[in-house]
Amino acid sequence: MIYFDAAATTFQKPPAVRRAVVRAMETMSSPGRGNYQSAALAAETLYACREEISALFGLEDPENVVFTSNATHALNIAIHSLVPPGGRVVISGYEHNAVTRPLHAIPNLRIHVVNTPLFDQTAMVQGFRELVTEGTDAVICTHVSNVFGYILPVSEIARLCRERGVPLIVDASQSAGSVPIHMGELGADFVAMPGHKGLYGPQGTGILLCASAGKPLLCGGTGSNSKEQSMPDFLPDRMEAGTHNMPGVAGLLEGIRFVRRVGVEAIGHHGWQLKEQLRRGLAGDRRFRVFGTEEPHLQAGVLSLVPTETDSETFCQAMAEAGFALRGGFHCAPYAHQTAGTFAGGTVRFSVSAFNTGGEVESFLQRLRQ
């Protein structure tokens, strides 16, 4: 099988990730719960991962790295921390259900959506400028659309938020590991991301980068302040109730080391090249409507297609039978389809990782030509 669904999860991982997961299961118990060797090794690994994450994302203090079970969990913490019932939020028109469903669960919330065309960053910044006003509780913006690979202008949106004193949550689910992110320069309040996509960790890992402590989503044991019945008021303990996923974190540590060794920009450029190879290969093919741009600052390694002769799910089923893993449908992002005009049938999504090759893309193109 040739795997083109890295935007859901990266299937191929560096070999060191698998080895670290197994080693953790054999040697590590609960971090921060004891002085004995297995607990100390777990704590050491957990902290090493916090340090590696801090170095990758320009975070000064490893205590501001919170481990979660996935990006959805991280986004729920961030939203729970900043958005009150009856509040007001401004979001981009490309948000995932991991953002929009938690928002819709908040009573009497006013949700303002910046609906601007694909790959038009200027229009998007202008849209946020018009809607982000004093009294806005939070702005939430994905960094890269999980459907279209569109790179949103988060630096400009962050600057606008800082000028107007409005907190910002960035969903870095599709950008972490392939588009540079510097928490210090961005000035966001929270940046959420999965560990199992562009950071090449195992499923069940996620990260929330915090500028300051928010509200806990879960309450429970932390190994600190144990006599008290309220959650600690300091990071990361305030947001990390319960035992950590140590096999996951140990694997994630090796995944992030891989990303830092290869380089975020190199991985991002590789993904863009493969996406461009497919986009150019489909140019003029009337069987597909292709949503792409050649501009590297506007699109990452994700390309959406709409087949004109069949629907997206039937197309993906046929491709699966031919040995190609692609995703059809709505990609849990109905807002993005409404914004881009693909709400009726969704899209076929092609997405790549550092492990995909030009030969694989050429095989896919040859299959399409048959």
What separation in angstroms does the CA of 302 have from each of 75, 94, 353?
22, 14, 10
Rounded CA separation 20/44 (Å): 14
Assess 229 for contact with other proteins (CB under 8 A).
Answer: no
Q: Work out which of 23, 34, 120, 317 binds other proteins, going by CB under 8 A.
A: 34
Half-sphere exposure of 172 (CA within 13 A, CB side): 32
**What contacts 151, CB < 8 A, 6 or more positions away?**
121, 143, 144, 175, 179, 297, 298, 299, 300
Q: Quick one: 96 or 238, whose CB is closer to other proteins?
A: 238
Closest distance between other proteins and the C-beta of residue 53, in Å?
12
Assess 226 for contact with other proteins (CB under 8 A).
Answer: yes
- The amino acid present at 99, given as its one-letter code, is V
- Strand 110-114 relative to strand 88-92: parallel, antiparallel, unpaired? parallel
Closest distance between other proteins and the C-beta of residue 20, in Å?
19
Q: Quick one: 43 or 103, whose CB is closer to other proteins?
A: 43
Buried b (16+ CB within 10 A) or exposed e, 179-196: bebebeebebbbbbbbbb
Assess 43 for contact with other proteins (CB under 8 A).
Answer: yes
Residue 216 main-chain phi, psi, to 5 deg: -65, 140
The string of DSSP codes covering 77-143 is HHHHHH--TT-EEEEETT--HHHHHHHHTSTT-EEEEE---TT-HHHHHHHHHHH--TT--EEEEES
Q: Work out which of 27, 38, 47, 367 binds other proteins, going by CB under 8 A.
A: 47
Number of residues near other proteins (by CB under 8 A): 25
Number of H helices, E strands in the chain: 12, 12
Q: Work out which of 7, 21, 53, 62 binds other proteins, going by CB under 8 A.
A: 62
Rounded to whole angstroms, the maximal C-alpha distance in the chain is 68
Closest distance between other proteins and the C-beta of residue 208, in Å?
14
Closest distance between other proteins and the C-beta of residue 58, in Å?
17
Rounded CA separation 303/150 (Å): 9
- Strand 138-142 relative to strand 190-194: parallel, antiparallel, unpaired? unpaired
Q: Quick one: 67 or 335, whose CB is closer to other proteins?
A: 67
Q: Are 112 and 91 in contact (CB under 8 A)?
A: yes
Closest distance between other proteins and the C-beta of residue 250, in Å?
16
Q: Work out which of 50, 73, 96, 279 binds other proteins, going by CB under 8 A.
A: 50
Considering only the stretches 15-23, 45-53, 193-201, 269-277, report the one whose residues sit in contact with other proteins under the rule CB under 8 A.
Answer: 45-53
Rounded CA separation 243/83 (Å): 27
Q: Restricting to residues 14-33, which ones interact with other proteins according to CB under 8 A?
A: 31-32
Closest distance between other proteins and the C-beta of residue 226, in Å?
3
Q: Work out which of 63, 120, 156, 313 binds other proteins, going by CB under 8 A.
A: 63
Closest distance between other proteins and the C-beta of residue 223, in Å?
6
Sign of CA dihedral 313, 315, 318, 324: negative
Pair of tokens at residue 312:
């997206």
Q: Work out which of 26, 227, 284, 286 binds other proteins, going by CB under 8 A.
A: 227
Q: Quick one: 55 or 105, whose CB is closer to other proteins?
A: 55
Q: Are 129 and 159 in contact (CB under 8 A)?
A: no
Q: Work out which of 35, 85, 286, 344 binds other proteins, going by CB under 8 A.
A: 35
- Give the residue among 316, 288, 304 at the shortest CA–CA distance from 145: 304
Considering only the stretches 1-9, 161-169, 230-238, 358-366, report the one whose residues sit in contact with other proteins under the rule CB under 8 A.
Answer: 230-238
Assess 355 for contact with other proteins (CB under 8 A).
Answer: no
Q: Work out which of 223, 281, 296, 334 binds other proteins, going by CB under 8 A.
A: 223
Closest distance between other proteins and the C-beta of residue 214, in Å?
16
Q: Quick one: 241 or 332, whose CB is closer to other proteins?
A: 241
Q: Work out which of 194, 236, 248, 328 binds other proteins, going by CB under 8 A.
A: 236
Rounded CA separation 332/336 (Å): 9
Task: List interacting residues with other proteins (CB under 8 A).
Answer: 31-32, 34-35, 43-44, 46-47, 50-51, 61-63, 222-228, 232, 234-237
